[in-house]
Amino acid sequence: MSTFSEIILPESWQNWELTEEIGSGSFGTVYKATEKNSREVCAVKIIDIPRGGIVTPEIMNRIFGEDKGDGSRDRTRSKKDRLKERSGGKGSGEEEKPLPQGLKGADLLKEIRRREEEEARQEKVKNEAIQACFRTIAQSCVDLVRETQKLKDQDHILTIHEVDMVEHQEEIGFSVFVRMDCLQPAAQRLVAGRLAEMEVIGLGEDLCRALTAAEDAGIVHGDIKPENILCTEDGRYVLADFGIARLLKDTVMSLGSSGTFRYTAPETYLEGTVSRSTDLYGVGILLYLLMNRDKDPFVDMKKPILYFQDRDKAFRARLEGTDPVPAPAEGSEAFRNLITKACAYEPRRRYRSAREFLDDLEKLKNGSYTMKRVNTRKAGAKRKKKRGRRLFSKLAALVILCGLVLAGRWSWNHFFFRYLDKVSCGQDILCSLDGNGLLSLQGQGDPAQGQVPWKDYRDKIKTIEISDGITGISDGMFAGCEKLTEVKMGKDIRSIGREAFSGCGRLRKLDLPDRLEWIMPRAFASTAWMEGQEEPFLIKDDVLLYYEGSSREKGGESALTVPQGVKELADYSLAENEKLLSLEIPATVETIGDSALEGSDNLEEIRLAPDSSVRKTVLKKAAAHTAWYRNNYGDDVQVMNFVKSLKELDKSGNREALLLHYSRQILRLSGGDNPDGKTDLSLISENQAETGSEDGKQAVYSFAADNKEDKGILVFKEYGEWVFADRESFSRFEKYLSMDVPED
């Protein structure tokens, strides 16, 4: 799809509208969607085939079975350039014959036109063949999703409600739309060292329950990884995207990224074999990483820093299967024994089914698991012989040599090698990333939103330096930099965007600048620096800047008390806390930012200290979207007071005052203006009313007066009098007229 605003949902989904983008992966983008009438919330995944609408050379090669070189013709060439190429005997596909010699005038033009028509015909045939291939792939996706819909009643498999496919109108390809439950991604929760052993066991149980149901239905997932795991509000893990990744990778290679091989079984990587055993291997590797400090099997656990060659060596050892899989570094002996069995090289030595895997996990949980002898090596593999002891002199020489090499490498990385070198990330701002993982930003002003040249190098970044003159950090700017440990901010930083450092699990060193004015929600979610704070608040110079309300460990409470001594609640400081129901503000607070409570819509109670100096208008402005405001100052409350005053006037018998009050209140509640004191309500005779019911309580009456256009008028009989008003103004509170208003 092109942009968010241009997305057109299938015709049968017109009651749904996309409200925001949740995330994107290798094969699609997920949006939050809301049903216009019921306001039900779901997630909609859109898979573009081909990805991005681009027909690449690899796609052409897979479809036509031949090497197309650069893929397809350059349709942007002018007719003059193409004629010149033909006359020179060149061909972009197969070689074309030059124009016959001797042709002139009309005959030459006729031959050129004939060749152009033939080229257009061949291009049309080619496009039809490509579209037919994409239609087959899209239909296969739809069929696969419909197959997994059979599992919608399973607690640990994502419920899919609808699936449809739409053909692109202005370009080649299709879009597959999948509407499903809207759950939270679990990737940020599944961080090594953060989950206790029992929580990791619970994760394994939930995944095995999902795979057990899939096995019973004859369905293989084929892509177990954290990105395909979601979680519910009550902490259940849910498995998503059954078979989609495998289907798309097996059809046209460039539909998605190459993906990660971290969770891939050896037989899948070497032979392309996918089975329920490979799914169990993926679960085993996931549990392994969580209990092994996020390091792969065969990695040297003593090394503080791992380089590409270290990871590559470990990956090859896992594929060869010569050595037994080492047990994870953490966890009980029984749990480590269970995990290594799931990660055995040969499928026959792993668990035979998800149900068997689940049984062992449940036994481990209740203390009845029995240790088993596990052989995780490749059958017939010979153990590598250990090298003999080296002489001390050779060892010393090797240490010195390594030191020189490392020193040289550091110098090369720091002074010469660059992943990025002065690349623009906003007007007047340049960024550089060297081989030592130092990302530096130099310039003036705010970085451009969403412009992150280091996106593909997040795993290289260890330190960030932001120069003076840069005034802000945009949304998600450094999110997911897993190796980031330190951030040095310039003194001019005034704002930090939403999820700016989210997922930077190793970030421990950071100083907030003095000029900082506000921090958006979840800016420091899942960072070691935030977890190291004594309280889930960031307070600087008596200003509350940030509350980690999205963290499970610190925050998310239904009731919250602002710490004593805070004088100001900055913009966004308590924003987007959906669980927050009650807020207590101490007397020390003097002002509240207009956006301080933005998104905390469920807040029902706000308690100000009796001697608080906060003005009511300031509080009402900041809390305009909360349940507290709706319950105390919303339209419903105003209408109820209005109806109550009408009934009091009716008891007094003053009909003129009743009608005048009616007119003014309708104008006020509907936002109208009445500078001349004229009324939109009038008494009318009973024979003028065209009633639709016997008692004449309400009916629609149309009329023309004073040369004005006809308009819909609501006529009703209330308190013994006939009155009328335009329906648009009256519709906001007409339902209250027949209600009994409770006494104070």
23 pairs with which residues across the strands? 30
- Provide the pLDDT for residue 95: 52
Name, in order, each residue with C-beta under 8 angstroms of 68's C-beta and a sequence gap of 6 or more: 57, 60, 61, 93
Distance set, CA 68 to CA 55, 59, 72, 129, 134 (Å): 12, 10, 7, 15, 18
- Provide the pLDDT for residue 737: 52
Same domain, 607 and 554: yes
Q: What is the DSSP string of 526-543?
A: T-HHHHTSSSSEEEETTE
Stretches in the chain below the pLDDT threshold 70? 1-5, 26, 52-53, 56-58, 61-62, 65-97, 102, 104, 243, 245-260, 380-394, 405-416, 550-556, 635-744
Same domain, 216 and 335: yes
Contact between 345 and 377 (Cβ < 8 Å): yes
Same domain, 576 and 483: yes
- Is residue 679 exposed (0-12), middle (13-18) or buried (19+ Cβ within 10 Å)? middle
CA distance 44 to 160: 10
CA distance 486 to 44: 37
Contact between 530 and 558 (Cβ < 8 Å): no
Q: Which of 703, 742, 736 is nearest to 718 (CA)?
A: 736
Cis status of the peptide bond prior to 50, with omega within 30 of 0: yes
Cβ atoms within 10 Å of 135's Cβ, excluding its own:
15
Question: Which contacts of 626-633 are long-range, i.e. CB under 8 A and separated by 24 or more positions?
Answer: 626/597, 626/600, 626/601, 626/602, 627/601, 627/602, 627/603, 628/603, 628/604, 631/604
Same domain, 625 and 674: no
List, for residues 592-639, the tens digit of each pLDDT value.
999 999 988 899 999 999 899 998 888 988 998 898 888 887 766 666
CA distance 693 to 359: 68
Q: What single DSSP character describes residue 445?
A: B
- Provide the pLDDT for residue 415: 56
Distance of CA 539 to the CA centre of its chain: 29
Q: Is 104 a member of any domain?
A: no
Same domain, 155 and 207: no
- Provide the pLDDT for residue 126: 86
Same domain, 13 and 160: yes
Distance of CA 733 to the CA centre of its chain: 39
Q: Is 225 a member of any domain?
A: yes
Contact between 594 and 624 (Cβ < 8 Å): no
In single-letter form, the type of residue at position 273 comes to T
- Provide the pLDDT for residue 723: 54
Same domain, 706 and 722: yes
CA distance 522 to 562: 18
Same domain, 283 and 426: no
Contact between 29 and 1 (Cβ < 8 Å): yes
CA distance 433 to 86: 47
In single-letter form, the type of residue at position 584 comes to E
Number of domains in the chain: 4
CA distance 546 to 557: 15
Q: Six-digit token pair at 327? A: 């047990």
Distance set, CA 434 to CA 400, 424, 453 (Å): 25, 15, 13
Name, in order, each residue with C-beta under 8 angstroms of 463's C-beta and a sequence gap of 6 or more: 437, 438, 439, 484, 485, 486, 487, 488
Q: Is 381 a member of any domain?
A: no
568 pairs with which residues across the strands? 543, 591
User: H or E segment at 42?
Assistant: strand 41-49
Same domain, 453 and 431: yes
Name, in order, each residue with C-beta under 8 angstroms of 3's C-beta and a sequence gap of 6 or more: none
Q: Is the dihedral of CA 300, 301, 307, 308 positive or negative?
A: positive
Q: Residue 34's domain is classified under what CATH number?
A: 3.30.200.20
Q: Which of 522, 500, 517, 631 is nearest to 574 (CA)?
A: 522
Q: Is 402 a member of any domain?
A: no
Contact between 448 and 470 (Cβ < 8 Å): no
Q: What single DSSP character describes residue 419?
A: E
* Domain of residue 531, residue span: 411-633
CA distance 180 to 224: 19
| φ, ψ for residue 713, nearest 5 deg | -120, 135
Q: Is 374 a member of any domain?
A: no
Single out the residue in 346, 366, 386 at which a domain terminates: 366
CA distance 334 to 319: 25
Q: Is 52 a member of any domain?
A: yes
- Provide the pLDDT for residue 398: 77
Single out the residue in 590, 605, 633 at which a domain terminates: 633
Residue in the block written with tokens 């490749």: 378
- Provide the pLDDT for residue 653: 60
Q: Is 397 a member of any domain?
A: no
User: H or E segment at 35?
Assistant: strand 29-35
Q: What single DSSP character describes residue 386?
A: P
Same domain, 618 and 660: no
Single out the residue in 124, 158, 177 at which a domain terminates: 177
Q: Is the dihedral of CA 556, 558, 564, 570 positive or negative?
A: positive
Alpha carbon dihedral 400, 406, 412, 417, in 10-degree steps, equals 160
Q: How many residues does the chain have?
A: 744
Name, in order, each residue with C-beta under 8 angstroms of 388's C-beta and a sequence gap of 6 or more: none
Instruction: Go through 489-525 and write b for each residue having 16 or more CB atoms within 10 A of its CB, e for each that does not.
Output: bbebbebbbbbbbbbbbebeebeeeeebbbbbbbbbb
User: H or E segment at 438?
Assistant: strand 438-443
Same domain, 457 and 549: yes
Same domain, 346 and 316: yes
Q: Is 380 a member of any domain?
A: no
Q: Six-digit token pair at 593? A: 């930012």
CA distance 15 to 30: 18
184 pairs with which residues across the strands? 231
- Provide the pLDDT for residue 431: 92
